[in-house]
A and B are shown apart, each in its own frame.
Chain A
Amino acid sequence: MGLYPPPQKIWWREPIAKTEIVWIVIAFIWGLAMFFMMIYWHAVGEQNLSNEAYRVTPEAFYEKASALAEAHQVGEEAGTPVVHPPPGSDIYLVGRLWSWWPIFELEKDETYRLHISAMDWQHGFSLQPVNINLQIHPGYDFVVTVTPDRAGEYGIVCNEFCGIGHHTMIGKMYVVE
Chain B
Amino acid sequence: MAQSPDFRTCPSTGLRIHRSAETLIKANAVVAVVFLAVGGLFGLAVALTRWPAVHLLPADMFYLALTAHGLDVLLVWIIFFEIAVLYFASAIVLNSRLAMPRVAWTAFALMLIGAVITNVAVLQGGSSVMFTSYVPMRADPNFYLGLILFAVGALIACAIFFGTLVIAKEEKTYEGSIPLVTFGALTAAIIAVFTLASGAIILIPTWLWSMDIIKHIDPLMYKTVWWAMGHSSQQINVSAHVAIWYAIAAIVLGAKPISEKVSRMAFLMYILFLQLASAHHMLVEPGISSEWKIFNTSYAMYLAVLGSMIHGMTVPGSIEAAQRAKGYTNGLFEWLRKAPWSNPAFSGMFLSLLMFGFLGGISGVVLGTEQINIIMHNTIYVPGHFHATVVAGTTLAFMAVTYLLVPMIFQRELILKKWAMVQPYLFGIGVAGISVFMMGAGTLGVARRHWDITFADATLSFEYPPAAFLMMGLNGMSAVLAALGGLIYIVVVVGSILFGKRIETKAAADGEPAPVVAAVGKYGSAGTLAIPGTVALVAVFFTAFVLYYFVNWKYLSEVWPLQ
Contact = CB atoms under 8 A, between A and B. Distances in A.
Interface string A119-158: 0111010101111111111111111111111100001011
Contacts of A139: 218-219
A140 to B, nearest CB: 4
**Chain B at the A interface: mostly helix, strand, loop or mixed?**
loop
A17 B259 contact: yes
A60 interface: no
Given A3-B181, A16-B526, A135 B559 contact: no
A86 interface: no
A34 interface: yes
Contacts of A140: 220, 286-287
A157 B462 contact: yes
Contact of B374 (A132, A137, A159, A172): A132
A68 interface: no
B458 A169 contact: yes
Contacts of A27: 305-306, 309-310
A42 B298 CA distance: 15
Contact of A39 (B176, B294, B447): B294
A140 B449 CA distance: 23
Contacts of B449: 159-161, 166
B451 A167 contact: yes
A14 interface: yes
A160 B218 CA distance: 17
A120 B136 contact: yes
Given A38-B369, A167-B455, A2 B255 contact: yes
A17 B526 contact: yes
Contacts of B563: 46, 48-50, 144-145
Given A5-B177, A129-B445, A144 B136 contact: no
Interface stretch (B159-167, B198-206, B246-254, B470-478): B246-254
Given A19-B531, A144-B562, A159 B378 contact: yes
B285 interface: yes
B457 interface: yes
B134 A160 contact: yes
B329 interface: no
Interface string B536-563: 0010001001100100010011011111
Contacts of A142: 286-287
Contacts of B178: 5
A53 B286 contact: yes
A14 B525 contact: yes
A16 B246 CA distance: 18
B303 interface: yes
Interface in A29-60: 30-32, 34-35, 37-39, 41-42, 45-51, 53
Contacts of B317: 19-20
A24 interface: yes
B12 interface: no
A5 B172 CA distance: 12
Contact of A155 (B309, B370, B376, B462): B462
A170 B175 contact: no
B516 A4 contact: yes
Interface string B318-332: 100000000000000
Contact of A24 (B310, B443, B447, B556): B310
A28 B287 CA distance: 31
B42 to A, nearest CB: 16
B376 A133 contact: yes
Interface in B257-287: 257-262, 284-287
B379 A159 contact: yes
Interface residues of A, number: 91
A7 B254 CA distance: 14
A114 B369 CA distance: 23
B400 to A, nearest CB: 15
A141 B451 CA distance: 28
B143 interface: no
A164 B137 contact: no
Contacts of B546: 30
B560 A11 contact: no
A77 interface: yes
Contacts of A41: 370-371, 553
B130 interface: yes
Contacts of B59: 164, 167
Interface in B296-340: 298, 301-303, 305-306, 309-310, 313-314, 317-318
B464 interface: yes
B256 interface: yes
A1 B301 contact: no
Contact of A9 (B60, B136, B177, B371): B177
A15 to B, nearest CB: 5
A128 B249 CA distance: 46
Contacts of B559: 47, 130-132
A130 B305 contact: no
Given A79-B459, A140-B286, A145 B562 contact: yes
B450 interface: yes
B260 to A, nearest CB: 4
B452 interface: yes
19 contacts: A2-B249, A2-B257, A6-B177, A6-B179, A6-B180, A19-B531, A20-B258, A20-B262, A35-B298, A48-B290, A50-B563, A99-B459, A122-B219, A134-B284, A147-B562, A149-B561, A163-B137, A166-B451, A170-B458
By Cβ-Cβ distance, the 5 closest A-B pairs, closest first, are A155-B462, A31-B302, A142-B286, A159-B447, A53-B286
Interface of B: 59-60, 63, 93, 128-130, 134, 136-137, 174-181, 218-220, 246-247, 249-251, 254-262, 284-290, 294, 298, 301-303, 305-306, 309-310, 313-314, 317-318, 365, 369-371, 373-379, 443-445, 447-453, 455, 457-465, 516, 520, 525-527, 530-531, 534-535, 538, 542, 545-546, 549, 553, 556-557, 559-563
Interface of A: 1-9, 11-12, 14-20, 23-24, 26-28, 30-32, 34-35, 37-39, 41-42, 45-51, 53, 77-80, 99, 103, 120-122, 124, 126, 128-150, 155, 157-164, 166-172
Given A1-B179, A38-B298, A124-B447, 9 more contacts: A23-B313, A26-B542, A32-B301, A47-B374, A138-B136, A144-B563, A147-B562, A155-B460, A159-B447
